[in-house]
A and B are shown apart, each in its own frame.
Chain A
Amino acid sequence: MDFSLSEEHLMAQKMVRDFAQKEIYPTIKEYDRRQEMNPDVLPLMAKHGILGINIPVRYGGQGFDYLTLALACEELERVDTTLRVIMSVHVGLNSMALLQWGSEEQKQKYLVPQARGERYAAFCLTEPGAGSDVLSMQATARRQGDVYVLNGEKMWISLATKAHHFLVVARTANDKESHNLTAFIVTHDMKGVTTGDIHGKLGVRAGSTGWVAFSDVEVPVENRLGEEGEGFYVAMSCLDNGRYTVAAGAVGLIRACLEDSVKYAHSRTTFGKPIAEHQLIKQKIALMQQWYDAGKLLVMRSGWMKNMGQRNTRETSMAKWYATDHSVQAALEAIQVHGAYGFSDEYDVERYLRNAKGGVIYEGTSEIHQLMQADYALEFRHDRPLRRELPAYDAAFWQAEADKMPNR
C-alpha cells in the first residue's frame, strides 16, 4: 500500500496553500466581520484554475485527479471555510455532477465555462421546509411541451447571488417517491429566477449563502440533467462529491486548529514555562493530531476510491461525519489552548469554531451520517449501481490536449 503523494500532488497543494495564504488570509478577518464575500475571491480562484482543478482539460479544467481536489480543499479551509464552500458547490455538487450525468452538449455548454471559471455554479436541493428529508421538497417542475415550468424556493444555497448556473432538483410528480424527482440546469438569467443573501449566520460569514426562488421559470427540456424521475439519484451522487470536499476541508480546519495551537503553546508562558510543557495542553495537541491524521486518512481513502471509479458513498459519509465532528472538537480545544485570547477575534480560533459548526449540519447532518453508517453495518442499506457512475480518473483522458495548451 502506497500512502505517498506524487510530486504533482505536492506542487498543486503548495500552489493552493500559497494562494490562500497570500491572497485571502490578509483580509479574511475583515470580510468575516462585515459578513461580506471578498469580491476578488471567485475571480482569483478562477484565474488560477482552482475552480476546474479536477475537471478534464477537454472540458476546460486542469486535469488533476480527485485526490488533488481534496488537497486543495484542505488548504483552502485551512485559511477559511468560505473558500472550501466555493469548491463544494461549484466543483463537488455541480461541475462533477455535469461530468457524471451530463450529455456531451451539456458539458460543452455548461461544464466548460464552469471549469474555466467563466461561470460560477451552485446546487439547489434544500428548501425552507425540506433539509435532511429530501423527499418532502415542494418545488415542482411541470412538463409543458418542450419546457418544464419550475416553481418553488430553495434555501441555504451557497453562492446563491453569485452563481450563473444552478443545478436544481424539483418534483415532477406529486407523490413522495424518489423516482418523482428530476434534476435541471437553470441559469440565473432565465425569466422568473430571483435570488437573495442570508445574513446573521453563526459562521461562514465571509461567504455567500442565500435563497433562490423560481416563479414559472421555463426550463428547456435539453436542460434536464439525467432522465425524468432520476433526480433523487443525481442529488445523492452530488452529495457523494460535495461531502468529499466538506470532509477534506474539515481536515484543513482541524489542521488550522492544531497549527495555531502549537504556535501559541510555544509562545505563551504560565507558571514559569511555555504552556506547551503542561500535560493537559499536550493532551489537547495530541487529540488534534489524532483527529487530523484519522480524518485525512479517511478522506484519502475516499479520494483513492473515486480515482479508481469505485462507489464510495459509505466511505465518503464516514469521512464527512468524522472530520466535521472533530473539526468542531478541535476548534473548541484550540480556543481552550488560547484561553481568553481564543475567546476574542484577536486570534483566528473563534472563527474556526463558528465555521466548523456549519459542517456538522450541511451536506447531511452528523445524525444522518450515523444512521447511514448503522444501516450499512446492519445491512439495511445497500448501494445499487447508478445508470451513470462518476468516471474513474484516467490521466490520459483527463490530460488530453493539455500539452497543446499554453501556461495560463
Chain B
Amino acid sequence: MHVVVITKSTPDKEAKITVNASGVVTWGDAQMVINPWDEYSVTEAILLKEAHGVKTTALAIGPEVHNDALKQALAMGVDEAVRVWDDGMEGQDSLGYANAAAAAIRKLGDVDLVLFGKEFMDVGTDAHIFQTARKLGWPMLGSYLKILSVDFAGKTISLDRLLEEGKQTVTSKLPAIASLAQDINEPKYPSFMGIRKASKATIPVWSSADLGIGEQALGNSAFVRTTAFANLPAWEGSVQIIDGTSDQDKADKLVARLIEEKIL
C-alpha cells in the first residue's frame, strides 16, 4: 500500500513576479514555499497514512530548489521523498514532465494512488496531471472533493468530484491518479519532530538515465516552447467620490455614471 504525492516549490505568494520577453518567469530572491495547493494533497496523503497505514512518498521533478517542498512534506509527516532531475531536463514542457513523473512512479513500483494538488500555482496549469495519468495508463480522477472510501487490498476507491454542474460520486480501480478540487481539508502544520527528520534527510535524486526515459523528458525535445511574452499593461486607476444630497441621489448619480461608462 503506497500513496505518492507530487509536489514542487513555488515562490511565496508575496513574491514580486515578473516575466521577461522570452516568457521566463523570475521572482528575484523571494522565499520558495511548497506549492500552496500541495499543502492539501500532502495532508490527504498523511490522512490516508493515518487511516490505512500506507507508505507515503513525496515526489518532485525539478532542480534542487524543489527539495524545499519535499522537506516540507517530510516535516508534515510524509515517510520518504524522491526528486527527479538532471540538467538535460531544463526547459521540459508538461509532457516531458509527465514522462519523468510516470517513469518515477513506475520505478517506485508498488504505487496504489498518486495525488496532485489542484494545479501548480506558479505556472497556473494542471495539464501535467492528466498527461501523467495518460502516460501511466491509469484512471484520472480530477478535481475531487472527498475520498469516501478506499480499499487498498481490494484496489478500489470511491470519491466525490466537483463538476461545474454539481457533485459527482465515482468509483475507480486502483492504481489511479487523483487531483484535489481545491482547499478540501485543513492542512497539517509540520511538527517539530518532523522538521528535525526533514532537516537531516538526504533526498535521493533520480536522473533521466536512472529512469530510462531518455529524450522523452528532456528540455531540448520539448514539443511546446515559449517564443515570446508580453506582460499585461500596467493598470492605472483613479478615484472619484460622487457627491449628492442624499443616499438616493448619490446612488442615482452612480448608476447614471456606470451606464455612461457602459459598465451597466
- Which residues does A use to contact B, with CB under 8 Å? 6-8, 11-12, 15, 18-19, 48-49, 53, 62-64, 399, 402, 405-408
Contacts and interface: CB of A to CB of B under 8 A. Distances in A.
Contacts of A49: 191-193
Given A7-B71, A11-B71, A407-B77, A399 B196 contact: yes
B214 interface: no
B130 to A, nearest CB: 31
Interface string B189-200: 111111111110
Contact of B191 (A7, A18, A408): A408
Interface string B72-109: 10010100000000000000000000000000000000
Interface string B168-199: 00000000000000000000011111111111
A199 to B, nearest CB: 32
B30 to A, nearest CB: 14
Given A11-B75, A11-B198, A18 B189 contact: yes
21 contacts: A7-B71, A8-B195, A8-B196, A8-B199, A11-B75, A11-B198, A12-B195, A15-B75, A15-B192, A48-B191, A49-B191, A62-B193, A63-B196, A64-B196, A399-B196, A402-B193, A402-B196, A406-B193, A407-B191, A407-B193, A408-B193
Interface residues of A, dominant DSSP: loop
Contacts of A63: 192, 196
A18 B186 CA distance: 13
Nearest to A11: B195
Indicate the member of A15, A18, A19, A48 with the most B CB atoms within 10 Å.
Answer: A15
A6 B191 contact: no
Indicate the member of B71, B195, B197, B199 with the most A CB atoms within 10 Å.
Answer: B195
A15 B195 CA distance: 9
A11 B193 contact: no
B78 to A, nearest CB: 10
A407 B194 contact: yes
Interface of B: 71-72, 75, 77, 189-199
A396 B6 CA distance: 34
Given A63-B196, A405-B193, A407-B194, 14 more contacts: A6-B199, A11-B72, A11-B75, A11-B198, A12-B192, A15-B75, A18-B189, A48-B192, A53-B192, A62-B192, A63-B192, A64-B192, A399-B196, A406-B193
Contacts of B198: 11
B190 A11 contact: yes
B98 to A, nearest CB: 30
B199 A7 contact: yes
B194 A19 contact: no
B206 to A, nearest CB: 22
Nearest to A23: B189
A15 B74 CA distance: 13
A193 to B, nearest CB: 32
Interface residues of B, dominant DSSP: helix
A365 B195 CA distance: 37
B79 to A, nearest CB: 10
A58 to B, nearest CB: 13
A408 B77 CA distance: 9
Nearest to A263: B14
Contacts of B190: 11, 15
B200 to A, nearest CB: 8
A63 B144 CA distance: 39
A8 B195 CA distance: 6
Nearest to B198: A11
Nearest to A13: B195
A11 B191 contact: no
Nearest to B192: A62
A48 B76 CA distance: 12
B192 A19 contact: no
A52 to B, nearest CB: 9
Contacts of B194: 407
Nearest to B186: A22
Contacts of B196: 8, 63-64, 399, 402
Contacts of B193: 49, 62, 402, 405-408
Contacts of B75: 11, 15
Indicate the member of A6, A11, A63 with the most B CB atoms within 10 Å.
Answer: A11
Given A8-B196, A11-B198, A19 B189 contact: yes
Nearest to B201: A7
Nearest to A18: B189
Nearest to B78: A407
A25 to B, nearest CB: 14
Nearest to B67: A7
Contacts of B197: 407
A399 B200 CA distance: 13
A183 B72 CA distance: 43
A341 B228 CA distance: 44
Given A11-B71, A407-B77, A48 B189 contact: yes
Indicate the member of A7, A53, A399, A408 with the most B CB atoms within 10 Å.
Answer: A7
B189 to A, nearest CB: 6
Contacts of A408: 191, 193
A399 B72 CA distance: 20
A408 B46 CA distance: 12
Nearest to A408: B191
A406 B77 CA distance: 9
A225 to B, nearest CB: 27
Nearest to A399: B196
Contacts of B77: 407
Contacts of A402: 193, 196
A6 B196 CA distance: 11
A12 B191 CA distance: 9
Nearest to B200: A8
Contacts of A406: 193
A62 B189 CA distance: 15
A234 to B, nearest CB: 28
Which 10 pairs of residues, A with B, have the shortest CB-CB distance? A62-B192, A8-B199, A7-B199, A11-B195, A407-B191, A49-B192, A407-B77, A15-B190, A407-B194, A408-B191
A388 B40 CA distance: 47
